[in-house]
Structure 1
Amino acid sequence: HEEIIFTRGTTTAINIVASSYGMEHVEEGDEIVVTYLEHHANLIPWQQVAKRKKAKLKYVDLTADGRVTVEAVEAQLSDRTKIVAMAHVSNVLGTINPIKEVARLAHARGAVMVVDAAQSAPHQRIDVTDLDCDFLAFSAHKMCGPTGVGVLYGKKALLNAMEPVEFGGEMIDYVGLEESTFKPSPYRFEAGTPIIAGAVGLSAAIDFLEEIGLENVEAHERELAQYAMAQMRDIDGLTIYGPEERVGLVTFNLGDVHAHDVATVLDMQGIAVRAGHHCAQPLMRWLGASSTARASFYLYNTKEEVDALVTGLRQTKEYFSHGF
């Protein structure tokens, strides 16, 4: 329990690591390694650290289908690397990154491994000890839980050596007129009234997913993604982004129809997809697209709903080709 900090979500959790560990350990000329796959929540905090500390932000090259290879990561590491920050799973491409192998490379260079698990914790079983990551963050609302609560995992020795980023009640040990001392982790990072209701809701969500079995959730949504891609590839002019091996999502564009227009017409048919840059603008530029549409699958989705999506896409294509 000393290694689990309750936060407002993945974004807050990563900002804690950046604002505390990052600001304390990154110096001028050091390097922070990220990928083009990152959600803004795992990119902008590191941009700020690099800017303020006059460090260098380095990007790992991707394969043509949007994968991160161990060799590409190793090519970006050096003796000046202090932090490697990487999504476990891409929220756009569904790419599953080799976190365990990257953590080993990072540690060999004396760097720490920060994992954005917002897109993996709801969909697969995670063992932080096996991954040997130093920090890992996720949010409750992506795993059937409430909004406004998430978790930062951090190795105990690292957390206790970090300075708090918020100050006030509950996180203090001794308070004097001029100086104060702070409790060990997790209390030093949980100032004020805890996120009690959120934590209870997250606990219920975890129990729910454990009862179903995360391995069953993962297998179900991967089957849906493969089923969807097999049908969507038969639609002329439709482009699917990302590797074949992926989690349960499909990101696509339909010819030269803007993703927002595709989403609007699908919405008129009762089909919900997300359209835009998905909080991943650097990745959109890497893809050569201003925006994309994304269909995401979870434990409650069915093949019949995938069929409805494919039918809706065909009707959407017809609409923009000829109109109703």
Structure 2
Amino acid sequence: RNVFDWMKMFAIAPVVDPSYTFLVNIEKHNYDQRNQVLNFYNLLKRNVKPYLDRIEDRPQTYQTAIEKIIEISFFDMESCDFLVREMIGKERMNERIKRSIDKFISQYIDSDDPRNLERHFKSLSEDLRVECAPVFCEQFSKLLSNNRISWKSEYLESMFHLFSQLFTAELDIMKVLVLLSKSRNVDLLLSFPKWSKFALESRNVKADFRTKISTLCEEWYSTIMSAVTNQKNTANPVIFLYQQLSAISFVLQRRTDIYKKLVDTVEQKILNFPQEWSFKATSFVGALESRIVGDFEKVLRQRLKSPLSIDTNDNAVIKIISQICNSSGSPLY
């Protein structure tokens, strides 16, 4: 018996099985080779599609039949093109059919590797990317909230590419940035400035959106400051804090109120750090924006006013001077 004999039922079902109960007995077959899949698709187009089109005026039966075809025909992302273009037709796509396809897409793209998600999205045609974007957005958010993932640079790059393509509405962009700004993962937190800058510079944004980004930058900075200063393996927290302040300078240029608040917070924080950290930071901070350099200089002067310990020898003093004079920014000399 031919495994495709069930296809013949579509021609006679209106007479012998008008309720199409035979659909429940159709089972999905998996194929090892692509040409086998293509052969199956050709058989569906020739033996099933013409009869499906004839029952379109019976919505419930048509929906049930289409859902079964989706179930037995979805093998990979290329199946979307076949189903939408050649079996269903974009003009017949309704919410119920879309949900059925989305269910199988969601199962197929479920992975802890963002590179797979990007690859699957790229495999879709331009118009289907729009149709399938919501299910990819959902998986994207799941990845962003997954605390088990070790975020390698390639993962972060794929996530950024997806962010730039999947999210276009300001409300959706803000939801992603809020999620990113509250991440428990430092590598993800470090991505926030790049993503925020893209969100602001890649489109004409409203003043309200820019204000929200600015406020979010403030919240993000507090989060990453706490995350890093609590880590024992951070090389020099002073350098890191000023580096991240510089990373969001594209926002702080317009929000001097937020900048002042963050600078005051940083100054209070680093005054509790060992003096040596501030001295060693001069060679890095001196290369940042002039406003940041100027504010760091105030902190440095305050630290230099602190009396050296009584047992500080000449070599230690020379070392401090050497650290400061190694700065690449002239305001720190």
Larger Rg: 2
Which TM-score band applies after superposition, normalised by the shorter structure?
Answer: under 0.3
Relative to its length, the structure with more helix (as a share) is: 2
Higher percent of residues as strand: 1
TM-score (norm 2): 0.24
TM-score, normalization: structure 1? 0.24
Q: Which has the higher contact order (CA 8 A, sep 6+)?
A: 1
